[in-house]
Structure 1
């Protein structure tokens, strides 16, 4: 790996970048084609264009090179100066030209001459929302590497990259909505391709990309990791002037990555409502916590989960078919494992009837443990009451109304969900499930049976309707295990966490993701766990996650990956 990178850098010294790319290949990719992408000449990284800033990590001063707002596409979408959030609040952005399709690159000075250090690629799409360019590193900042993934990555000598992407809610200067799926995936892939193209000119190795994200960012991380090099995205990449797309629309670069570090991924959106309703109606949880505003809809959606789950043809942890009949036991086993890992690490869990403390937004809080009986001395779980556990989860944060994700246009929910991730760029949103479409009662929005007279089943089957393609292009389950030239190259290393107090997306989503990855022969390791006593959040386990990344990088090097 190091030798390939050094060879390309030496070759680049004796020729222009484009000639070097054509003669030597791109980045560390031994299979790179000699052809040059039509936008490559506009995407040359300027290695001298940086500002040196100083940060403090664990009390020690660390100089960092900051490459500011590097635009990673040749044809960025011009954005409106005023962006409006879902709650109606407005934000004025400074970089309307490329603020949603650029990245801030931070290189610790100690790694500036490195050919093979990792690139820590952070996507920042909470709730699948568009991510305007941000800088997680600022001059004079101070980091504790035990709690900050930013500080820990820089201390480890990794190049830290903040990546901006279009996604739901972002408004273009021409009044269109250019963040519709698969825009966030396309932009992230375009950023990866930029790194591959410029590997010879940049510190680190584009063959050692580790993608980090939480919530919608965890979902984006997951589809990036699952769909590497898939031809499905090439037309979209060409449209924004991504690196490595030639005149015939074929790829001359790779966009697969090495490792994924994902937290509470909100993914499998096309089926997420089924997951959610099945989980929270199986034991009557919705009714028990007084959050059942749409009982008929909940029942309809939950009833479809069994057939969906069976159709995945996944295996559970014992090797048997993973079905709706044994899924609840899988969740139970994962929660027990989470508690026992916590106790094995020295943690103490209160007895039944005692207060269980936790910290939220810096404040000390607690709840009464009425669902888990443990033996702290033996570090074992004695029993777990799943009905009470799910009720506990549902009291940590109010359950979403049904449908939980495709909600827009339904008076029964008075909420929005992820519906504005889908539809054409001339539509503010579109329902993306049959239930959402058929039950949309917002007259005049042009969406749903009420306005079109067309059922969801019929609408989504029409060739002119992009929805089902959009749903696929953001769903890792559609790509994991497809393998090689006919499908996608899934990242070989995965670290996935989902908090045991997380009510934002169903536990079944992450369990299915983990089981699918474990069945993929090209995946080397899946480190999956429900994180003890954590809500919908991420990067709460920095030392453990960073140790895993270091181990994955070492294992990959040993395997020549």
Structure 2
């Protein structure tokens, strides 16, 4: 395997404790035979047998009533990679448990110990696509509320689901040998390995691995989307084999799988997805309204006085061809293009505002103020973009000025500077910024992963860009190293796998807040359309929730009603 993935292909020999059966768990005729212990094919699978005796007990309250849960913690691969340090959100720390990034914590309400049909609520915590150590969502003595709109853990416990907190490698990690070990596609590979562990041990553990519901927000939403779109793709087998994931047999060209890694449902909040094209979508969406008032300075140089405007225009110009090339279709068979995508976004806004009005929400009339809360600060922002017709709960949306709506979105919190996602080493950026350190060779901290940023890299000796390699983006991407980068970009992008022979999740719940400027509305509409177009998908719920910023798990009652309805319909 080529250089960007060498870290993935350096397995460490780590002894994993094997275990017996989970006492009290009977068989489930609905479970796939491919997920039982009869499917164990090699020594790695044997080493990954579930240890039913290795658990702790926690006493918690749910809705004020005592509940006892069992918690199991396990390294879910046979060849985990030892980590030394982690940078997350700009803060670097020493890793005390070297395998915590390939560990998962399974929490089971005691009432569900013998239930092999309940759902597995599989939580990823990769905001910003950062590395995520396994951390228990349920702690001894904790209090949880199932009726809260912000307590998804309480709702899952009340429903009797098995909770799975998954640690994954991702950007910002360094291994004990000094290499950058969280490079793409590490987070997707690790999540799939955890799913495979659950499949391998399905008959031994509570809950059904045929009913995995993946939940994540922001970068975690992007990860959720990638997991859900790429089920059982053979593209991932070399990476899964390198870390000793369950169910991978053979070697080289003979790699095969005895275990599935597709999932039942995805619950993705504000998914930062399709990173290779996210900058193009962002600049296309916001280029016309950028100004000094809604775009920050870089290295002390104001937006209008520096290179940002020209960069924004050049990057934006690439999006129409990209979107058209996806071949996505609207419900009437029309192709989704930049000529109509904003109309589709406006239709979603109209539907959401009218839902709120019908529910009794007092939506401000034209000329009145919206009260907008972003990052704990409430601002009064004038409604100069929405005109209503009628009154009371029967009012409807008469018109939406979309350009003014975009300005409204960017009034409380400024836009990301140019470049938004592949931001490192360009336009005067002096620190690692955006998702640039998710990509590239393990021996370098980051790599530019888009054409404009590659060709305009300003930092010498960072291993990236025309200045260091002597070749343009186009020439680099036709080289072997460029092919490796293209593979990284593909394997984390849900649109690479939707509408292909991958086994995409049949059920999707996607939310992107109405005032969320962290990625373009166009990118979310493209994801939604790709999901709808996929023949494997049975249903998709997509909304732009009213006055919601970049966040997740704010509509727990609605989300869990959807999960229950979806699970019940599958019985």
Q: Same fold (TM over 0.5)?
A: yes
Which has the larger displacement, 473-482 or 386-395?
386-395
Matches of 1:198 and 1:27 in 2, distance apart? 15
Provide the aligned C-alpha RMSD in A. Answer: 2.1
Structure 1 position 112 matched with structure 2 position 113: yes
- Among 32, 40, 44, the residue aligned to 1:39: 44
Q: 2:489 aligns with which of 465, 471, 479?
A: 471
Match in the other structure for 2:182: 179
Q: Do structure 1's residue 199 and structure 2's residue 205 form an aligned pair?
A: no
Deviations 1:89-147 (A, max 9, x none): 23233311x11001111111111110100000000000000001211111111112223
| Most deviating of 511-520 and 369-378 | 369-378
Aligned residues: 528
Which secondary structure state, in structure 1, belongs to the residue aligned with residue 266 of structure 2?
strand
State the alpha-carbon separation in 1 of the partners of residues 184 and 565 from structure 2: 34
1:210-249 deviation per Cα after TM superposition (whole angstroms, max 9, x unaligned): 0000000000000100000000000000000101112342
1:265 to 258, 266, 271: 271
The structure 2 residue matched to 1:386, chosen from 395, 402, 408, is 402
1:548 matched residue in structure 2: 562
Q: Does 1:58 align with 2:58?
A: no
Q: Matched residues in 1 for 2:181 and 2:293: separation?
A: 41
User: What is the rounded CA distance, in whole Å, between the counterparts of 2:30 and 2:569 in structure 1?
Assistant: 20
Query: C-alpha deviations, 1:165-212, integer Å up to 9, x for none?
Result: 000011111100111000000000000000000111100000000000
CA contact (8 A) 2:372 2:412 kept: no
Q: Aligned partners of 2:370, 2:285: CA distance in 1, in Å?
A: 24
Q: Which runs of 5+ in 2 are unaligned?
A: 1-18, 22-26, 297-302
Summarize deviations over 1:434-474 as a string: whole Å, max 9, x none: 11111000112121111221111111111233110100000
Q: Is the 8 A contact 2:354 2:397 kept in 1?
A: yes
Q: Secondary structure at the match of 1:324?
A: coil
Measured at CA, do residues 48 and 363 of structure 1 come closer, stay the same or move farther in structure 2, by a change above 3 Å?
farther
Instruction: Give the aligned partner of residue 340 of structure 1.
Output: 354
Shift of 1:527: 0.5
Which of 493, 514, 538 pairs up with 1:524? 538
Q: Distance in 1 between matches of 2:411 and 2:133?
A: 33
* 1:504 corresponds to 2:509: no
Whole-Å separation in 1 of the counterparts to 2:473 and 2:244: 34
Equivalent in the alignment of 1:100: 101
User: In the aligned structure 1, how far is the partner of 2:278 from the partner of 2:260?
Assistant: 30
* Equivalent residue, structure 2, for 1:90: 92
Q: Counterparts of 1:451-462 in structure 2 under 5 Å?
A: 451-462=468-479
Q: Which SS does the other structure have where 2:138 is aligned?
A: coil
Q: Which runs of 5+ in 1 are unaligned?
A: 1-14, 18-23
Q: CA deviation at 1:290?
A: 5.0
Name which of structure 1's ranges 364-373 and 185-194 shifts more when overlaid on structure 2.
364-373
Structure 2 residue aligned with 1:75:
79
Range with bigger deviation, 490-499 or 285-294: 285-294
Confirm whether residue 447 of structure 1 aligns to residue 464 of structure 2: yes
- 1:395 alignment partner, one of 391, 407, 411: 411
From the superposition, tell whether residues 336 and 286 of structure 1 become closer, same or farther in structure 2 (CA, over 3 Å).
farther
Give the match for residue 383 of structure 2: 369
Contact 1:103 / 1:133 at 8 angstroms: preserved in 2?
A: yes
How far is the alpha carbon of 1:360 from its aligned partner? 4.5
Give the 3-state SS of the residue equivalent to 2:340 in structure 1: helix
CA positional deviation for 1:319: 3.2
| Distance change (3 Å), C-alpha of 1:250 and 1:26 | farther
Partner SS, residue 248 of structure 2? coil
Match of residue 237 from structure 2: 234
Q: Check the 8 A contact 1:402/1:413 in 2, yes or no.
A: no
The answer to whether the 8 A contact 1:159-1:204 is kept is yes
Which range moves more in the overlay, 365-374 or 43-52?
365-374
Return closer, same or farther for 1:326/1:480 CA change in 2, 3 Å cut-off: same
SS of equivalent to 1:406: coil
